[in-house]
């Protein structure tokens, strides 16, 4: 056995273990959040007859988990994205926001450029885990996703790709931690 094997074994953490404090925080977290779902799509914004399947999936999963959700569709436009995100969080009093679409590498994909400058804190691990999970289903194309999360004035914000499968994957990743993230971000304020 090599020295590296001993070192690796001494730092082994069981898969999915959580600390006592994380479990306590989850117990203290609110059970119901007000979540803004914002679909970023020029085609759906311009043609209201087009179905917003991803938005419907996100609302359905979040509502089923006990949260109160709103859904709106905005254009692939940085100023419009910022306006609706800030309006949702601060004028409408939403606790968190999930944006769907505009996270790729195409010329109209501007969600990340709209949101990232507004973040007070980045949750880099979210994008890493999302891409790792996506890799299992779509392979190396997963690295072209710029899914990300962060905090804007003590409120969690998540940016996901707009495809129905990516939305489902992302929401399933977000739901176990969104109230916990909100609680930690608000700690000392609520």
Domains and CATH numbers, the chain: 31-186 (3.40.980.10)
| Per-position pLDDT tens, the chain of length 190 | 444 444 344 333 345 556 667 777 777 778 899 999 999 999 999 998 999 999 999 999 999 999 999 999 999 999 999 999 999 999 999 999 999 999 999 999 999 999 999 999 999 999 999 999 999 999 999 999 999 999 999 999 999 999 999 999 999 999 999 999 999 999 855 5
The β-bridge partners of 96 are: 35
pLDDT at 64: 98
pLDDT at 19: 65
**Residue 155 near residue 99, CB atoms below 8 Å:** no
Separation of alpha carbons 57 and 61, rounded Å: 6
Classify each residue of 77-109 as buried b or exposed e, where b means 16 or more C-beta atoms within 10 Å of its C-beta. Answer: bbebbeebbeebbeeeebbbbbbbbbbbeeeeb
Dihedral Cα 90, 96, 102, 103, nearest 10 deg = 130
């Amino acid at each position: 056995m090599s020295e590296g094997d001993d070192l690796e074994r001494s730092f082994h953490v069981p898969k999915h273990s959580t600390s006592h404090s994380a479990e306590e925080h989850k117990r203290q977290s609110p059970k119901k959040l007000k979540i803004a779902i914002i679909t970023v799509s020029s085609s759906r914004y311009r043609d209201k007859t087009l179905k917003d399947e991803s938005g419907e999936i996100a609302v359905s999963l979040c509502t089923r988990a006990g949260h109160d959700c709103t859904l709106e569709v905005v254009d692939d436009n940085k100023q419009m994205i910022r306006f609706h995100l800030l309006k949702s969080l601060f004028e409408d009093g939403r606790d968190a926001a999930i944006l769907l679409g505009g996270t790729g590498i195409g010329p109209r994909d501007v969600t990340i450029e709209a949101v990232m400058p507004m973040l007070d804190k980045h949750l880099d691990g979210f994008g890493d885990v999302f891409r790792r999970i996506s890799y299992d289903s779509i392979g190396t194309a997963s690295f072209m996703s710029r899914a990300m999360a962060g905090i804007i004035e003590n409120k969690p914000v998540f940016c996901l790709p707009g495809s129905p499968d990516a939305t489902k994957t992302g929401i399933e990743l977000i739901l176990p931690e969104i109230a916990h993230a909100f609680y930690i971000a608000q700690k000392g304020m609520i």
